[in-house]
Structure 1
Amino acid sequence: SKKSSGPIDDFLLRRNSCTPQQAAALTESILNMMVKDMRPLSMVDGAGFREMVSAFHPGYILPSRTYITSLMEQKYEKTCQK
């Protein structure tokens, strides 16, 4: 982990950090885009996709393909139960 060297670094770290609520919303948005556009799960492993997500929100850590898969399965189950 990086050591902070002062108030400016602390500010920059906080500014770029992602709250759990923001992370959940971003993950949900990515999941919805993948479902609506019928994108493969492998998309989250792509370097270009990861760079784009990082450009949109540098503090967001993109979940693993395995985690995205589990979320998609949960979404499918909820949809089938309606």
Structure 2
Amino acid sequence: MFVISRHGMAFVGPEVHLDVADDVLVVDLLLFHVTQLRYVVVELKIGRLSPAYVGQLLPRLRRTARHLRRRRRRLRP
């Protein structure tokens, strides 16, 4: 069951595990924008934002985006 907010965001789930190649990526929160048909990945961190966090997150987000696009293409009729 999806919960859709008045802003068109559906909550997919917390700590979503995605099998990407030989690795498992864990996304803290995964949302889906219903009208734009886009995923929103939320990573939660404690403390101040540092360049090291960004350096770690960007490659993971790229891999997650590629994986979700491929999965969506396979699910289309």
TM-score (norm 2): 0.34
Of Structure 1 and Structure 2, the greater helix share is in 1
Structure ranking higher on relative contact order (CA contacts 8 Å, 6+ apart) = 1
- Point out the structure with max Rg over C-alpha: 1
Of Structure 1 and Structure 2, the greater strand share is in 2
